[in-house]
Amino acid sequence: MNDFDILFSILTLPEVDFLVPISERLIKEGNRIGFILFHEAGTEILEKKQIPYFYMHSLRKVNSSPKLNERIINEYATTFGICNLRHLLIHEMLGYNRRNEDELLVKVIHYLQILDRIFSENKVKCVIQELGGFSANQCVYYAARKNGVDHVFYEPAAFSKRIVFNLNSYYSDIPERIMTMQHPEEVYSEVESYMRNYSQSKDAVIPFKDKYSFADMTLKKIFSFENAKRLRRKLIHKYISKKKEEYDEIGWVVRYNMLKYTRRWFLQSFYREPDFSCRYIYFPFHVPHDVQLTSRSRLFYFQEGFVEYIARIIPPGYKLFIKEHPASIGGHSVSVLRKLLKQHSNIVLIHPRVNSYHLIKNAALIISINSKVGFEALMQGKKVVVVGDAFYKKKGVTYDVCTLNDLESVINEALKSEKPSQREIMDFLVKTYEWSYPCELFFLEKANLERSCESFYKYLKTETFRELKIQ
């Protein structure tokens, strides 16, 4: 048996590059660190650094998988507290075209079996991983939960160049201690400064790790230098080095990007510039197949169907403006969108080049599943109706929908009511800022790595491992 204060679980090589410096700092302070790897290339880096790891693909080879049958499926679901094992497959089936459900179920059960052994045969205090909807992410989460091991997800915060941590939950929410504490004046000053910059720049929050994704779906984006580098690395790992990883559907990703480009071209005739003189409600699309939908708000996965429902229940005289997520232009079916626009004259598909800042500013109301656009709308002092599981829901500054049957009445109430007060919004923004920590994920510049190390330390000291010897 080995003792680990922290096991970092990673799926991609950038995660290893980013987390190794943090691990080394923790190790210098006397903490026992290890990794759970789903990417073979990371093994070479960790071996050079002499950091212990569990490599899942090799462990699958030496540990036999149970035969797939209904009894085994039900047994694993019950043992690990999973209401439906199919939930663990959806992200890969729809997002990466992995349609062999039996094969995916075998992998999930095998992962759960191996991870259960890792956590039961070793003394582990905490496992940390980036938020993700892949079966690997979810298996680590459920196996840790089964064995009483603290589990932490980290993800980009609503504020630029900051992250948030979520303890023992797939859902993101502000801890109660932050919601009830008094916040120093300097935090208010920082938030006010951030708000001024946002109003001047009008820029959405784009994490460094996603900066190449937030662009119009043109040939320039598809054949960019960054995409060429990624493709080269993937091809070398898969076909030359024969290294295993989770993200290895190269052919599908290439075809899907060309499909999005084709859809973008066909949608050109349906895009419209916004008419700010009319009354409208704004609904921003999420990235299709994103973890926010596949894991956090499954009810709203088919966003086009939700749009159709909104169009039927909003009051006469209002338009419904919809816009594709900037990281997934062309990600929606042309035929489905065309049918929506043909059947509902109150739906307007906004051109992707239009800045969401202006769409928010001139809207009568914003409807959000759990999008960061909903948070941006609060920064602008707008009315926001929230239907999914969002960290800004039930904080006194939004109009919250508990069941879809209530959506129409909540929309009507919000349209007739006053905006949340500036004091209420500012108080919430300060709490949200205090919840987050300085960090630009996977940006390897020295100063950012130092800030990121300190942020991980601070979180662990205050929320998880008060007994750890972290200085």
What is the DSSP code string of 83-131? Answer: S-GGGGTHHHHHHS----HHHHHHHHHHHHHHHHHHHHHSEESEEEEE-
Helix (H) or strand (E) holding 384: strand 384-386
Residues in the chain: 471
pLDDT above 70 coverage of the chain, percent: 95
3-state SS, residue 175: coil
Q: What's the CA dihedral at 142, 148, 149, 154 to 10 degrees? A: 50
| The one-letter amino acid at 336 | V
Residue 385: name the closest of 406, 404, 366 by CA. 366
Parts of the chain belonging to CATH 3.40.50.2000: 271-431
Q: Assign residue 324 a region: left if phi > 0, alpha if psi is -120 to 50, beta otherwise?
A: beta
| The one-letter amino acid at 54 | F
Q: What would the two tokens of residue 144 be? A: 């840790």
Quick: pLDDT tens for 138-194: 999 999 999 999 999 999 999 999 999 999 999 999 999 899 988 888 999 999 999
Distance CA 256, CA 245 (A): 19
User: Across all residues in the chain, what is the average pLDDT?
Assistant: 90
Give yes or no for residue 116 having a pLDDT over 60. Answer: yes
The b-or-e profile of 231-258 (16+ CB within 10 A means b, else e) is eeebeebbeeeebbbbbebeeebeebbe
Give yes or no for residue 210 having a pLDDT over 70. Answer: no
Q: What would the two tokens of residue 413 be? A: 């109430």
Quick: pLDDT tens for 305-348: 999 999 999 999 999 999 999 988 999 999 999 999 999 999 99
Distance CA 329, CA 327 (A): 6
Position 380 scores a pLDDT of 95
CATH superfamily of 271-431: Glycogen Phosphorylase B; (3.40.50.2000)
Give yes or no for residue 250 having a pLDDT over 90. Answer: no
3-state SS, residue 9: strand
CATH fold group of domain 3-157+436-464: Rossmann fold (3.40.50)
- Mean pLDDT lowest among 112-121, 221-230, 352-361, 429-438: 221-230
Q: Tell the residue number behind the tokens 């024969």, with chain if given.
A: 242
Distance CA 408, CA 338 (A): 24
Question: Model's pTM, two decimal places?
Answer: 0.92
Helix (H) or strand (E) holding 164: strand 162-167
